Amino acid sequence: MKNDRWCVLIEKIKSIISEDRILHDVPMKEHTSMRVGGIVKTLILPSCKKEIVDIIKILIDMNIPYYVIGNGTNLIVSDEGYSGVVIKIADNFADINVSGDEITALSGASLAAVSNTAMLNSLSGMEFASGIPGTIGGAVAMNAGAYGCEMKDVVTETSCVDEQGNLLLLKGAEHDFTYRSSRIQKKKLIVVEVKMRLQRGEISAIKEKMRYFNTCRREKQPLELPSAGSVFKRPQGFFAGKLIEDAGLRGYRIGGAKISEKHCGFIVNTGDATAGDVIKLIEYVKERVYQCSGVILEHEVKILGG
């Protein structure tokens, strides 16, 4: 991208949000849980709905590609980085409100904070998500799930920005939730606010369920090392981790990326992994699993750039 065009872009963005929330030459390993990835020229941290809408309109107007991230916990950015603008919607945009048995959260609120707020207000239904390290916006886009529950079970309404910069409201079935996907992903919508309906429950029981799920996570998942969670979608009738283990890949490594010995569905960064190592390992696993079992694995993690 030509420099003068980028200068014009930055000047326009500066008229919308303060300079300290426009970051330049950002290493994406600092914004992703896998801790790999190259440089993004500009990363923006909007803090209100209007800023998001106005920024999108500028980017559309100038025909500059953009990508929205939350906590970067399901994301690998290539070593070459990304030549567009990254809009990070996380703790810069994260208010949570409770009204009766409804919670409304701005999309950058963490799942942990939303689950905790639900618990403190005697609301049950978000326990499954308390240990998922993403934002509520990322979770709705991905239809994140665990322990038999998914975001689709609790989300009633989502306020989004579309690819033309217009605000729109999705209700119930309009979200088109499927396994680890949604209309939001398919139509490249940006989630700005999420409404969830929960059920009344006992604080102690909700707390105990959260504690139990999080103990299970610590026992089964390699939380001590950087990762992007389960790399592959669950193929119908199989478990990705078991297929990978049966293909003899437990502990298999390429560079600094390794199939976790604790949970074969996870790729961990042993310290010096590059995005290239992780992506090569993903491809190698797909190939080996297909050779060994005939099952085609599809990656759940998103890959940006390259």
Active site residues: 180, 230, 300
For residues 15 and 162, give the distance between their C-alpha atoms in angstroms, rounded to a whole number. Answer: 22
Contacts with ligand FAD in 199-228 (CB under 6 A)?
221, 223, 227-228
> Judged by CB under 6 A, does residue 55 bind ligand FAD?
no
For residues 112 and 130, give the distance between their C-alpha atoms in angstroms, rounded to a whole number. Answer: 4
Q: How far is the CB of 191 from ligand FAD (least distance, A)?
A: 4
Q: Which residues have C-beta within 8 Å of that of residue 28, sequence separation ≥ 6? A: 36, 37, 38, 39, 40, 72, 77, 81, 82, 86, 304
| DSSP code at position 238 | S
Answer for which of 28, 55, 85, 184 binds ligand FAD (CB under 6 A) is: 184
Backbone angles phi, psi at 249, to 5 degrees: -100, 5
> Judged by CB under 6 A, does residue 69 bind ligand FAD?
yes
> Judged by CB under 6 A, does residue 71 bind ligand FAD?
yes
- Given the complex with ligand FAD, which of 142 and 288 has the nearer CB atom? 142
> Judged by CB under 6 A, does residue 73 bind ligand FAD?
yes
167: number of CA atoms within 13 Å, CB side? 10
> Judged by CB under 6 A, does residue 265 bind ligand FAD?
no
> Judged by CB under 6 A, does residue 70 bind ligand FAD?
yes
Q: Are 125 and 111 in contact (CB under 8 A)?
A: no
> Judged by CB under 6 A, does residue 75 bind ligand FAD?
yes
Burial class (CB in 10 A: 0-12, 13-18, 19+), 13: buried
Size of the site for ligand FAD (CB under 6 A): 33
Vertex 30 angle, CA 28 and 36, to 5°: 60
Contacts with ligand FAD in 9-38 (CB under 6 A)?
33
> Judged by CB under 6 A, does residue 234 bind ligand FAD?
no
Contacts with ligand FAD in 131-170 (CB under 6 A)?
132-135, 137-139, 141-142, 144-146
Q: Are 255 and 293 in contact (CB under 8 A)?
A: no
Structure-token match 């290239």, residue found? 276
Strand spans (E) along 227-296: 227-230, 253-254, 257-259, 266-269
- Given the complex with ligand FAD, which of 68 and 198 has the nearer CB atom? 68
- Residue 58: count of CB within 10 angstroms of its CB: 18
Q: How far is the CB of 260 from ligand FAD (least distance, A)?
A: 10
> Judged by CB under 6 A, does residue 241 bind ligand FAD?
no
- Given the complex with ligand FAD, which of 71 and 78 has the nearer CB atom? 71
Q: How far is the CB of 1 from ligand FAD (least distance, A)?
A: 20
**What x/- string results for residues 93 through 112 when contact with ligand FAD is judged by CB under 6 A?**
--------------x-----
- Given the complex with ligand FAD, which of 281 and 288 has the nearer CB atom? 281
For residues 67 and 188, give the distance between their C-alpha atoms in angstroms, rounded to a whole number. Answer: 9
Which positions touch ligand FAD (CB under 6 A)?
Answer: 33, 67-75, 89, 107, 132-135, 137-139, 141-142, 144-146, 184, 190-191, 221, 223, 227-229, 302
